[in-house]
Structure 1
Amino acid sequence: MQQLLGILFHSIGGFSSASFYVPSYLVKKWSWQTYWITMGFVSWLAMPWIGASLTTPGILEVLGQSPSSSLIQTYLFGILWGFGGLGAGLGLRYIGLSLGQSISLGLSAVVGTIVPAILDGKVGLLVTTTSGGIVVLGLLISVAGIVLCGYAGVIKDRMLTDDQKKESVKEFSIVKGYSMAILGGIMSGCMAIAINAGKPISTEAIKAGTAIVYANTPILILALGGGFTTNFVYSLIYMVRNKSYKDYGIGPSKILLRNYFMTMLSGLMWYGQFFFYGMGETKMGNFSFASWSIHMSSIIIFSNLWGLWLKEWTLVNRKTRIYLWSGIILLIISVFLIGIGNYLEGIV
């Protein structure tokens, strides 16, 4: 059953994405921009080329033979996604992993699922077929799970004092956090649109001998490259203004080595989410656009589990934890419902 394999790949990608920020807690004496753009260099610039080169024969020829319109659109939507990643990252910085991820990824799930469905002309199938109805039910349950997780985060926010919030989120700011998380969520959905725009690139990769499961890997060169462009410009401005570029060579060598290692680990995890997302998307059948919802649900599940592990929920009451766990359970159910819908569509 290919859909189960697809769900497994999406789950690995979700875990990778939810985990990418954890190593940053061990990065010391670096500004946020120094960490962010160094992580981005690994995940958005270096790894896409490495991943594509390892999975696609003649990657340069594949890109050269792909339609220029597809290359340009993929890159441009990647730039827009870059704004989303930047906003989402700032959201994590200001309101914490659990709440920041829930808001950003909830909005991203809606945008990244519905827009590609519209572009592919498959919205009608969602309301005229049994399999489509199951997928829609999965999407609705996913939204309900996201809302519950987010609501638990809101309750947590109301219950804790500013000093308690700063115990787990040192730069806590509710206005900055919510604003960045909302902006990041809307724009982050552009990655699903970028991958959809890059389908002609996948076609050329398959013609060149790339295994279907890796067919989306070359798209990431342009999509993530666009994201790097956005984040590099932003980070460079702040690094020059704050002179934080000096972070790269100042300080005890032990701390510097740890910072570089942890930042590279973050970058590998960030790239891993899209590497496995691309693999999972190839296994989801006619409703592959729903992969984005599965991916987002997986990230929210694992990010909230990390939030529990990092003690972001230690000081909240039992009722709030019930809301959180109910949301997580609904998200798990939604993932399997979407998988079942895709499976049924494939056997019709």
Structure 2
Amino acid sequence: MIEGVLWAIFAGLMLGLYALPEKFTKGFKYENTWSLFFLLTMFVVPSIVSVVLINGFGDIFGNMPTDIWIKMGLASFLWGIGVMMWSKAINYIGLSLGFSIFIGTVILVGSLLPFIVDGIPPANVLLFIAIGILIVLLGIVLNGKAGLIREKDEKKSDREQEVDTSKGSMATGILIAVIGGLLATGFSYANAVGRPYLHQASVAQGNPDWITAVAIMFPIFISGGIVMTAYFLWQLNKKNAWGHFKISSFSKNLFLILIMAVFHYAASALFAYAASKLGASGNTVGYAIFNTASVATAIISGIVTHEWVRASSKARKILYAGLGCMVLGILVIAYGNGQM
């Protein structure tokens, strides 16, 4: 169990840090960076890794039942739409509130959704998992509040309006973030519904247990990547950004974005592996720990890179309280899972 918790935390750390190389790219617009990123992380990296590492790749996926393909594909496609909606919500309500609502919804629904596939755990285990998730959500809410206070502090400092605060826009943004979070939980469902067959088929081909995580990620990323890639291709045309690929720093940017893609893919694969090590409630426990660790890492990275330098002491105190709640929530969830 401890091994699974540690792997889930490590996966969350990788997810929280994967976008860091973007800060060092030069000459690319937002659309250039992220279209190339999604192409690499959703298609190139998982395809190469899967073909190279999975023995019997063709047999495993060629014989996968149609209903599992449909369930995984549809859930993953919805996950891709959810991620796109999240980026849209940020335009309405800002990064702090949008991130908190989106991830909060993902953790709440995504952690409970696997129970539909895996079954309800014993009452004592379920109680601790539920309490832990609620503590995590409290931390997410506190982080969102801290973010709003920080935005207010920065607005007061530089007199620049950064977020549309009209009632209609705020309500629309919150709705988009919640719906996006609900759709993004398709990742958790796809992982839960595909694991039984893919694990059995993978082991039957002589693969070690950990290869199951690689096998699970292949249909998830390919299906989710369809909508993400289509969106950014549309954005490249809309923003006339194709020409920005023809720059002298393209090779350097490509290398940095490839690192992002590898980290992003590896984080998701490690989550699937961690879930397999956490017992009957592994998808629920792992999903909560994975997303919480990623949020905590992203926030700490923001502190280290001076994103909170102009925030008031009140905002920072609430932020630290939120981080404390998330850590406590992880410990409660881990303890509850240990009661299995």
TM-score, length-scaled by structure 2: 0.89
Question: 1:43-93 CA distances to partner (integer Å, 9 max, x unpaired)?
Answer: 111222233334421111111122111112111111111112223345568
Aligned equivalents of 2:143 and 2:181: distance in 1?
A: 15
Q: Alpha-carbon deviation of 1:136? A: 1.4
Give the letter for the 1:188 counterpart: A
What is aligned with 1:189?
185
After superposition, the Cα gap between the structure-2 partners of 1:248 and 1:97, relative to the gap in structure 1 and judged at 3 Å, is same
Note if contact 1:44-1:227 (Cα within 8 Å) is conserved in structure 2.
Answer: yes
Note if contact 1:214-1:278 (Cα within 8 Å) is conserved in structure 2.
Answer: no
- Residue correspondence of structure 1 range 292-331 to structure 2 within 5 A: 292-331=287-326
SS of equivalent to 2:119: coil
Number of residues paired by the alignment? Answer: 333
Give the letter for the 2:154 counterpart: L
Is 2:115 aligned against 1:113? Answer: no
Q: Alpha-carbon deviation of 1:96? A: 6.8
Alignment partner for residue 261 of structure 1, among 252, 255, 258? 255
Q: Alpha-carbon deviation of 1:119? A: 3.4
What is aligned with 1:140?
134
Question: 1:184-210 CA distances to partner (integer Å, 9 max, x unpaired)?
Answer: 322221100111121222321122222
Aligned equivalents of 2:10 and 2:79: distance in 1?
A: 21
Give the letter for the 1:332 counterpart: V
- Residue correspondence of structure 1 range 76-155 to structure 2 within 5 A: 76-90=74-88, 99-122=97-120, 125=121, 129-155=123-149
Note if contact 1:74-1:219 (Cα within 8 Å) is conserved in structure 2.
Answer: no
SS of equivalent to 2:213: coil
Alignment partner for residue 23 of structure 1, among 21, 24, 29? 21
Note if contact 1:213-1:283 (Cα within 8 Å) is conserved in structure 2.
Answer: no
Is the deviation greater in 272-281 or in 232-241? 232-241
- RMSD over aligned CA atoms reads 2.5
What is aligned with 2:216?
219
Aligned equivalents of 2:112 and 2:39: distance in 1?
A: 30
Is the deviation greater in 81-90 or in 13-22? 81-90
Which residues of structure 2 form unaligned runs of 5+?
none
What is aligned with 2:207?
210
Q: Alpha-carbon deviation of 1:143? A: 1.1
What is aligned with 2:335?
340
What is aligned with 2:61?
63
After superposition, the Cα gap between the structure-2 partners of 1:238 and 1:338, relative to the gap in structure 1 and judged at 3 Å, is same
Aligned equivalents of 2:24 and 2:130: distance in 1?
A: 41
What is aligned with 1:246?
243
After superposition, the Cα gap between the structure-2 partners of 1:288 and 1:13, relative to the gap in structure 1 and judged at 3 Å, is same
Is the deviation greater in 282-291 or in 24-33? 24-33
Q: Alpha-carbon deviation of 1:40? A: 0.9
After superposition, the Cα gap between the structure-2 partners of 1:164 and 1:294, relative to the gap in structure 1 and judged at 3 Å, is farther
- Residue correspondence of structure 1 range 151-190 to structure 2 within 5 A: 151-161=145-155, 164=158, 175=169, 181-190=177-186
After superposition, the Cα gap between the structure-2 partners of 1:162 and 1:32, relative to the gap in structure 1 and judged at 3 Å, is farther
Which residues of structure 1 form unaligned runs of 5+?
none
